[in-house]
Chain A
């Protein structure tokens, strides 16, 4: 199946822990994104990579570090997790350019306890 797949789907962890979320796309897209959706369903862009180069880095705590080993993968590592990090994190990809929609993964629900 052609898709954006992210793992894990659910992640429950304690405050202070470090965790990673992985994302892979097999659509041949050049650009990948991480979005955070809060409890009120508001989606906010966090990072974007184009051909492994960071092009968008919104005001995000530096505990969040994205890594793109190749253009098909974009991972998100979070250090020292806090309660406020609880949210659903979505990976997405698109072709380069303004005229393309995004393809989203199914999300990772992160709960920090």
Chain B
């Protein structure tokens, strides 16, 4: 399967704590992307990491990619209640395939 698998399925933390979500996949990739989905809304693109990159930062987000282990992690530092959402990893396979395949998501709840 080309889809990513997020872990854990659900995560509940207190405001100010860090949240780490993991994504594993089975195929070779061109890039891996993380998206956020607030309840009842569309997905919002957070960050894209290419297969030749190992780490990327964007504000309070840090994404790592280990292609030898076929895994990625998303770290949200100093979490806020507004970070409560579902987080999805998505795989862009190699080649000219335009398809972006999503995992099932991690539901993050940040308690005030």
Shortest A41–chain B CB gap in Å is: 5
**Contact B98 A41, beta carbon cutoff 8 Å:** no
- Say yes or no: is A25 at the interface (Cβ < 8 Å to chain B): no
Q: A41-B86, A99-B50 are in contact. Are A104 and B104 (CB under 8 A)?
A: no
**Contact B45 A41, beta carbon cutoff 8 Å:** no
Shortest B108–chain A CB gap in Å is: 13
Q: A41-B86, A48-B98 are in contact. Are A98 and B41 (CB under 8 A)?
A: no
**Contact A41 B104, beta carbon cutoff 8 Å:** yes
- Say yes or no: is B84 at the interface (Cβ < 8 Å to chain A): no
Partner of B102, one of A43, A99, A100: A43
What chain A residues lie within 8 Å of B78 (beta carbons)?
Answer: none
Distance of A31 Cα from B100 Cα, bound (Å): 12
Distance of A31 Cα from B105 Cα, bound (Å): 24
Interface majority SS (helix, strand, loop, mixed), chain B: strand
* Number of A positions contacting B (CB below 8 A): 26
- Chain B residue nearest to A40 (CB atoms) is B104
Distance of A35 Cα from B90 Cα, bound (Å): 13
- Chain B residue nearest to A48 (CB atoms) is B98
How many residues of B sit at the interface, in one of the four size bands?
20 to 34
Q: A45-B101, A56-B98, A98-B30 are in contact. Are A106 and B45 (CB under 8 A)?
A: no
Q: Which A55-113 residues sit within 8 Å CB-CB of chain B?
A: 55-56, 90, 92, 98-107
Q: Which B72-107 residues sit within 8 Å CB-CB of chain A?
A: 86, 88, 92, 98-102, 104-105
Q: A98-B31, A104-B43 are in contact. Are A42 and B104 (CB under 8 A)?
A: yes
Q: A43-B102, A48-B98, A56-B99 are in contact. Are A99 and B31 (CB under 8 A)?
A: yes
What chain A residues lie within 8 Å of B109 (beta carbons)?
Answer: none
Partner of A102, one of B40, B50, B86, B100: B100
Partner of A103, one of B30, B33, B45, B48: B45
Distance of A92 Cα from B88 Cα, bound (Å): 15
What chain B residues lie within 8 Å of A99 (beta carbons)?
Answer: 31, 48, 50
What chain B residues lie within 8 Å of A101 (beta carbons)?
Answer: 33, 35, 45, 48
What chain B residues lie within 8 Å of A104 (beta carbons)?
Answer: 35, 42-44
